[in-house]
């Protein structure tokens, strides 16, 4: 395997880990393993952010895709995709 292929595989793996952890944070925010998912999410968020900056500085053509994945990770972890009634019920219960 050449150096370029190895680098691309690592790049893809880190981004897939980031997307997976952002969904896990949404699913398991109040669960027993919430600390682990948040910790893994923060690490993957930093890794994807670092890869985005490095890709931009090294003029890699796919740095915009990396920035898009970073955006999706942040929106997924922050946005509430439930219905308005579900959101209101969650606010009242807490």
For residue 39, give its domain range: 3-93
Question: For position 78, what pLDDT does the model report?
Answer: 84
Residue 49 is predicted with a pLDDT of 94
Domains in the chain: how many in total? 1
Tokens of 87: 């959101």
**Given this model, what pLDDT does residue 31 score?**
72
Q: Quote the pTM value.
A: 0.76
18 contacts 48 by C-beta, under 8 angstroms? yes
One digit per residue, pLDDT tens: the chain, 94 residues?
566 788 889 999 999 999 999 988 888 766 777 788 888 999 999 999 999 999 999 988 888 999 999 999 999 888 877 656 555 555 566 5
Cα separation of 44 and 19, whole Å? 9
């Amino acid at each position: 395997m050449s150096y370029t292929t190895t680098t691309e595989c690592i790049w893809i793996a880190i981004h897939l880990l980031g997307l997976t952890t952002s969904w896990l944070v949404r699913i398991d925010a109040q669960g027993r393993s919430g600390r682990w998912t948040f910790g893994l999410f923060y690490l993957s968020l930093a890794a994807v952010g670092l890869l985005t900056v490095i890709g931009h500085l090294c003029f890699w053509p796919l740095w915009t895709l990396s920035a898009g994945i970073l955006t999706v990770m942040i929106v997924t972890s922050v946005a509430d995709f439930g219905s308005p009634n579900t959101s209101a019920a969650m606010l009242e219960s807490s």
